[in-house]
Amino acid sequence: MNLETRSWEIHRYSRNQQKKERDTVAAEYPLTLVVNGEEFATMVCTPKNLEELVTGFLASEGVILLNKEIRKLDIDVDRGFAYIETTRPVSSASHGQKRWLGSCCGKSRAFYFQNDAATAKTATDQTTFSPESCYQLMEMFQAEAGMFKQTGGVHQAAIADRNGIIKAYADIGRHNALDKLYGYLLREKISTKGRVVIFSGRISSEVLLKVSKMRFGLLLSKSAPTDLALELADDLNITAVGFVRGDRMNVYTHPERVGVFSEGGVTIE
């Protein structure tokens, strides 16, 4: 049984013609996380790779730092509950706190959650990817988007190196897709050094912070960034690249990772 999608009867119109047929839509599934016996959060997601999703979400929220800090993880798919036991106590008081104004690495001032301030990391990996590699990786990424082609209703996130896509995840929530990727990295102990994260959605400040926590130095997206995301990327030494489509892209921050720029143009490494 495919829990990710559902068949739905529709009336399809084309100009003045209409016909009744079946269409495929993305499934929307609520999952409630119970951490150490207390309800922690409820997320709406695509019901696949839930272990990775829960692990990545908890890491992104600062509840855990390593996969081994999860003592037990049980998921009741029928009831929509994930039961997690961690090796250290979790304070629910800090979860969902209001945003506060803080200093980001001493350069600019940006709004972000307190747990983000504690867990966001400045990127240190200086691995370079040529523009041609970026174009090719985005093409491979699009070829992996089977569920999007079926439904048009999901986002996708992937880790790749110069040889191609290593792992990709899809979800109705763009943050969930990144959390699944984060959970995969933690559970499988995958290094992000020399690798890039590829993303289908808008580069928001929250997306940028998740990329930072996963320790990526380069983010490729086919969509647009926000100004706050770019301020954070600049401060956290992350190369943010948007509108990667065909043989074009916009490099917004730290361009040294995608070539050597000079006044007369770009020299490909």
Q: What is the pLDDT of residues 239-257, one digit of tens each?
A: 999 999 999 999 999 999 9
Active site residues: 105
pTM of the full structure: 0.85
Which range among 18-32, 48-62, 121-135, 168-182 shows the weakest confidence by mean pLDDT? 18-32
d(CA 141, CA 260): 25
The pLDDT confidence band at residue 117, using thresholds 50, 70 and 90, is low
Mean pLDDT in the chain? 86
User: Which pairs count as long-range contacts for 219-223, CB under 8 Å and 24+ apart, including other chains?
Assistant: 220/134, 220/137, 220/138, 220/141, 220/196, 220/244, 220/249, 222/138, 222/142, 223/199
State the pLDDT at residue 27: 86
State the pLDDT at residue 103: 31
Q: Is 79 helix (H, G, I), strand (E, B) or coil?
A: coil
| Res. 55: pLDDT tops 90 | yes
| Res. 112: pLDDT tops 60 | no
Partner residues linked to 31 by β-bridges: 43
d(CA 218, CA 207): 13
State the pLDDT at residue 5: 85
| Res. 108: pLDDT tops 70 | no
